[in-house]
A and B are shown apart, each in its own frame.
Chain A
């Protein structure tokens, strides 16, 4: 329609270092399919060749998380949203690109030098049944991070802190002697949140924290996360595939498809006016009670394999508005007139 390509260079994010807490620039992550030399050998057309295919999980992601916001990352399974979370937390190391926290590059730090950031950024995991050590009591689980990060604290101080953090997530501090398996999924997730909050972080990466929970518990845990955000001035990077959660929780939304960000927008404007064809298809798939809107956008085909990425725009094989340029040229994230960013040639050219 009337999109203007005001800025076509994604390598320099618009937000300055002061208001963005976390910056991801040009992030790539490849997972080699065959680790060993012998596994890479293939017999093709009568010749022995060495092939080293890899899964292209993340292909040039640029994101900035602003201080105090909840940035939701959505996308279907396999689009690389969890990989982004794990890269940010240093559980994986990127193939290329850089991750900056508060202006300091953290993706190349290891061991002791990363330790100050470990306290400031924490993670909540998807599966509360696996994220608590089955051989440790809740008290031990919560005490260990405190004793590790604050060796100078006395035992009563640590006990007080554990009791405070347990109370803040709605777990009775008396239950500390129990083991993880004695709790329900929602309670375990609360304990996992308590563990993350115990070290007083300012930034929390939540990797689908409610998708393993019962629907009735999901809202409770979500509200707990929002309360914690208000009380402790937290910043969230929230990975989810649930668009209802995004609408409720997110300040901004990043939509991912096949390892790339295709749209980054304020929650309200994204839901009101999605620009990228993939986002439009995604949003039209939400079932609504007042469903008098136009037909669903029906996408044909399947998500391409991340082993052999399509040329040009990763979405071109399924996009209803595809042109020759989309097949050739990789679209960059460009700013639109309403301050959001979208990676689409159609929007840039003003035909969408």
Chain B
């Protein structure tokens, strides 16, 4: 009974919220959301939208390699954005690659958020030695750059399990590596807001009621720290996509056979000087647009939710 009465009011509250109000008045946010949703939809529906499957070797012919996009002479109308060095349709590969990039971006951010929020809550709420230990751990983690950690871990795993195993689990390994490398961003932000919330009287009231620490942390404090978490999530998704692209570009990310946007850029890089610029530039543009719209959405969200919050 309660759910039927609260659901419409929640939707109504959302529609009347300042979030929606400012969204309606911000054309940049609207454009960004539209572009982001197009890319997201294209990536999700890649198997149905793409003219061919770049993972299926039987559909690829080396004779089609390095065909230019359709607005240049010598193009094949079958391949609207041209083909890469192996004869894969670039449009299809970009759609599939965006899918890989987005999976890694979202997956890594979810992992970061789970670790970071838990650590931040524990550190901020329990305080004392636990706080000092966890935050020094975060400092140590932050002092290694993401790329360095990823390169070392990726190289070690490749060396131990071999290239074939690495290729099979590359997506999840990248999620793990990027997720583990960037959790302190969340931990610090969450800890800061937990420290502010912990001193409020509703937390004292909950303690006086005798609730256990876990309940107070997750049911009472966490919901009140959600807005900064949302804001850094958008920034971190963009960061994770960039990290994945950088790793793939260095040859430590997605293998050539299941390219992400980053490994597509890399595969075309060798042909940039020989005139086949589209293999690098078109996926590069898609990557830039994707990261830009996510970042702009994050900036907008930050301004709406908390103008004083420093960018995560």
Contact check, B200 vs A177: say whether CB atoms are below 8 A apart.
no
Contact check, B205 vs A192: say whether CB atoms are below 8 A apart.
yes
Q: Which of A132-140, A258-266, A320-328, A338-346 contacts B (4 or more CB under 8 A)?
A: A132-140
Chain A hits for B57, CB < 8 A: none
Pick the contact of B204: A91, A119, A148, A199 (CB < 8 A).
A91
Q: Does any Cβ of B come within 8 Å of A118's Cβ?
A: yes
Complex Cα gap A126–B211 (Å): 20
Q: Does any Cβ of B come within 8 Å of A95's Cβ?
A: no
Contact check, A177 vs B208: say whether CB atoms are below 8 A apart.
no
> Which residues between 116 and 150 of chain A lie within 8 Å of chain B, taking CB atoms?
118-119, 122-123, 125-127, 130-136, 139, 144-145, 148-149
> Which residues between 195 and 233 of chain A lie within 8 Å of chain B, taking CB atoms?
195, 199
> Which residues between 185 and 218 of chain B lie within 8 Å of chain A, taking CB atoms?
200-202, 204-212, 215
> Which residues between 142 and 184 of chain A lie within 8 Å of chain B, taking CB atoms?
144-145, 148-149, 177
Contact check, A135 vs B224: say whether CB atoms are below 8 A apart.
yes
Interface size of B in residues (CB-CB distance below 8 Å): 21
CB distance from A67 to the nearest CB of B (A): 21
Complex Cα gap A144–B216 (Å): 11
Pick the contact of A111: B5, B6, B212, B224 (CB < 8 A).
B212
Complex Cα gap A144–B220 (Å): 11
Q: Does any Cβ of A come within 8 Å of B9's Cβ?
A: yes
> Which residues between 262 and 298 of chain A lie within 8 Å of chain B, taking CB atoms?
none
Q: Does any Cβ of B come within 8 Å of A8's Cβ?
A: no
Chain A hits for B220, CB < 8 A: 133, 136
Pick the contact of A199: B200, B201, B206, B209 (CB < 8 A).
B209
Contact check, B210 vs A148: say whether CB atoms are below 8 A apart.
yes
Chain A hits for B77, CB < 8 A: none
CB distance from B286 to the nearest CB of A (A): 38
Chain A hits for B205, CB < 8 A: 123, 125, 131-132, 192, 195
Q: Does any Cβ of B come within 8 Å of A335's Cβ?
A: no
- A: contact size bracket: 20 to 34
CB distance from A223 to the nearest CB of B (A): 23
Q: Does any Cβ of B come within 8 Å of A114's Cβ?
A: yes
Contact check, B210 vs A115: say whether CB atoms are below 8 A apart.
yes
Considering the complex, give the chain B residue whose CB is closest to the CB of A123: B208
Contact check, B202 vs A130: say whether CB atoms are below 8 A apart.
yes
Considering the complex, give the chain A residue whose CB is closest to the CB of B199: A130
Q: Does any Cβ of A come within 8 Å of B275's Cβ?
A: no
Interface centre among B5, B6, B200, B201 (most CB of A within 10 A): B201
Q: Does any Cβ of B come within 8 Å of A89's Cβ?
A: yes
Chain A hits for B201, CB < 8 A: 125-127, 130-131
Contact check, B5 vs A133: say whether CB atoms are below 8 A apart.
no
Considering the complex, give the chain A residue whose CB is closest to the CB of B215: A148
| CB-CB under 8 A for A114 and B210, given A125-B205, A135-B223, A177-B9 | yes
Pick the contact of B209: A86, A145, A177 (CB < 8 A).
A145
Complex Cα gap A86–B200 (Å): 14
Complex Cα gap A135–B219 (Å): 10
Chain B hits for A90, CB < 8 A: 207-208
CB distance from A23 to the nearest CB of B (A): 20
Contact check, B209 vs A133: say whether CB atoms are below 8 A apart.
no
Chain A hits for B223, CB < 8 A: 133, 135-136
Main secondary structure of the interface of B (DSSP, over half): helix
Chain A hits for B2, CB < 8 A: 139
Contact check, B204 vs A134: say whether CB atoms are below 8 A apart.
no
Chain A hits for B224, CB < 8 A: 133-135
Interface centre among B206, B209, B223, B224 (most CB of A within 10 A): B209
Complex Cα gap A148–B219 (Å): 13
CB distance from A136 to the nearest CB of B (A): 8
CB distance from B279 to the nearest CB of A (A): 50
Pick the contact of B208: A111, A122, A135, A136 (CB < 8 A).
A122
Pick the contact of A118: B9, B210, B215 (CB < 8 A).
B210
Contact check, B200 vs A118: say whether CB atoms are below 8 A apart.
no
Considering the complex, give the chain A residue whose CB is closest to the CB of B9: A177
Contact check, A118 vs B208: say whether CB atoms are below 8 A apart.
yes
Contact check, A148 vs B202: say whether CB atoms are below 8 A apart.
no
Complex Cα gap A125–B208 (Å): 11
Contact check, A89 vs B5: say whether CB atoms are below 8 A apart.
no
CB distance from B259 to the nearest CB of A (A): 43
Considering the complex, give the chain B residue whose CB is closest to the CB of A128: B201
Considering the complex, give the chain A residue whose CB is closest to the CB of B212: A111
Complex Cα gap A98–B223 (Å): 36
Contact check, B204 vs A123: say whether CB atoms are below 8 A apart.
yes
Complex Cα gap A111–B207 (Å): 10
Complex Cα gap A90–B209 (Å): 11
Pick the contact of A148: B5, B6, B200, B211 (CB < 8 A).
B211
Complex Cα gap A134–B201 (Å): 11
Complex Cα gap A145–B201 (Å): 16
Chain B hits for A86, CB < 8 A: 204
Complex Cα gap A114–B213 (Å): 14
Chain A hits for B219, CB < 8 A: 144
Complex Cα gap A114–B9 (Å): 39
| CB-CB under 8 A for A130 and B207, given A111-B212, A135-B223, A177-B6 | no
| CB-CB under 8 A for A132 and B202, given A177-B6, A177-B9 | yes
Contact check, A130 vs B208: say whether CB atoms are below 8 A apart.
no
Would you give the 0/1 interface string for B170-188, flagging 1 where the beta carbon is closer than 8 Å to chain A? 0000000000000000000
Chain B hits for A111, CB < 8 A: 212
Considering the complex, give the chain A residue whose CB is closest to the CB of B208: A123
Chain A hits for B215, CB < 8 A: 148
| CB-CB under 8 A for A130 and B200, given A125-B205, A135-B223 | yes
Chain B hits for A119, CB < 8 A: 210
CB distance from B132 to the nearest CB of A (A): 8
> Which residues between 236 and 277 of chain B lie within 8 Å of chain A, taking CB atoms?
none
Contact sample, A vs B, 12 pairs, CB 8 Å cutoff: A115-B210, A122-B209, A123-B204, A123-B205, A123-B208, A125-B205, A131-B200, A131-B201, A131-B204, A132-B202, A148-B209, A192-B205
Closest 8 CB pairs of A and B: A118-B210, A131-B201, A135-B223, A125-B201, A130-B201, A133-B202, A123-B208, A130-B200
